[in-house]
Amino acid sequence: MDHHHEDHHDDDGHSHGVSADADRRWLGLALGLIVAFMAVEVVVGLLAGSLALLSDAAHMLTDAGAIVLALVAMRLAARPPRGGYTFGLKRAEILSAQANGLTMLLLAAWLGVEAVQRLVHPPAVSGGLVLVTALAGIVVNLAAAWAMSRANRASLNVEGAFQHVLNDLFAFIAAAAAGVVMVTTGFTRADPIATLVVVALMIKAGLELVRASGRIFLEAAPPGIEPSALGTRLAGLPDVVEVHDLHVWEITSGEPALSAHVLVAEDGDCHAVRQAIERLLRQEYRITHSTLQVDHADTGPAVPSGDEAGPDPHCTGPHGALYRPATT
């Protein structure tokens, strides 16, 4: 008995319909706030001669780019599958998240070099302008971060854009602290020191985004799911003789998928085993997209194997580990 089954349920409607439109509205509001304040900050940063403010403005530009990229990716991901793209363009959101992480790392490198140069040769900086602008920036970024937190941050794409804005908020807090130091003590090196603090935060957030998006591109198991433990659990179900070709991955963030070849005892019910596996995957692992090939363990005609005849091994080249029930 050879049985192929596709089980797919969409339990999370957050990325569809009204909620998707709401996500776009919240992201659009954050984008408007950021672009408007960025224009003001560039002018003030040039007048004050502050690298901290100019770095904030540059970071806000990447914030705006990240949000635009997120909005475009959301629209691409919503398109139905067509042609050779059988999953649609859902991974456009992961491309967006990876691009956001990479831009944070590149910007951090540039700002780090500039900050070190200013530590060696500190220029004149207007601490008062830096302080006032940074305080206003904190308010604007708090509003933008709040708006983006209302969107679906379970999406790595939205989370990537949110991390940009959150790091910019930290940058404004650091710039405000530098402004206070410069106004009270005249220590202008506080400006590049504040920039270096933000650079460290940007590197941390950028690496996390690149690592998370890279795991999805490399078809790694979703966080929290250990394939070996899952395979052992499936092999322990009643009437299951063997599980192999077990693959579990994410189509996009929050959409895990699984495929496996399951061999059932000769007197077992293939349909009942399949249903038990799907129920286990859905209830305990939140995997609702599974493709299972279920066969009786002794199915298959005799085929030649060297000088002897043997049973059809089902898979000529199985991938990954093989799981069987534990012997008592």
| Percent with pLDDT over 90 in the chain | 26
| Percent with pLDDT over 70 in the chain | 84
pLDDT at 280 (0 to 100): 95
Pairing label, strands 289-296, 255-264: parallel
- Grade residue 233 by pLDDT with cuts at 50, 70 and 90: very high
Strand partners, 294: 3, 262
Residue 304 tokens read as 């030649």
Of the given ranges (126-130, 271-275, 321-325), which has the lowest mean pLDDT?
A: 126-130
Strand partners, 258: 248, 290
- Grade residue 283 by pLDDT with cuts at 50, 70 and 90: very high
Q: Per-residue pLDDT for 243 more than 50?
A: yes
pLDDT at 316 (0 to 100): 63
Q: What is the 3-state secondary structure (H, E, C) of the chain?
A: CEEEEEEECCCCHHHCHHHHHHHHHHHHHHHHHHHHHHHHHHHHHHHHCCHHHHHHHHHHHHHHHHHHHHHHHHHHHCCCCECCECCCCCCHHHHHHHHHHHHHHHHHHHHHHHHHHHHHCCCCCCHHHHHHHHHHHHHHHHHHHHHHHCCCCCCHHHHHHHHHHHHHHHHHHHHHHHHHHHHHHCCCCHHHHHHHHHHHHHHHHHHHHHHHHHHHHCCCCCCCCCHHHHHHHHHCCCCEEEEEEEEEEEEECCEEEEEEEEEECCCCCHHHHHHHHHHHHHHHCCCCEEEEEEEECCCCCEEEECCEEEECCCCCCCCCCCECCCCC
Closest of 229, 231, 227 to residue 219, by C-alpha = 227
Higher-confidence residue: 98 or 150?
A: 98
The domains located in the chain, with CATH, are: 13-217 (1.20.1510.10), 222-311 (3.30.70.1350)
Q: What is the pLDDT of residues 38-55, one digit of tens each?
A: 888 788 777 777 666 676
For 227-245, what is the mean pLDDT? 93
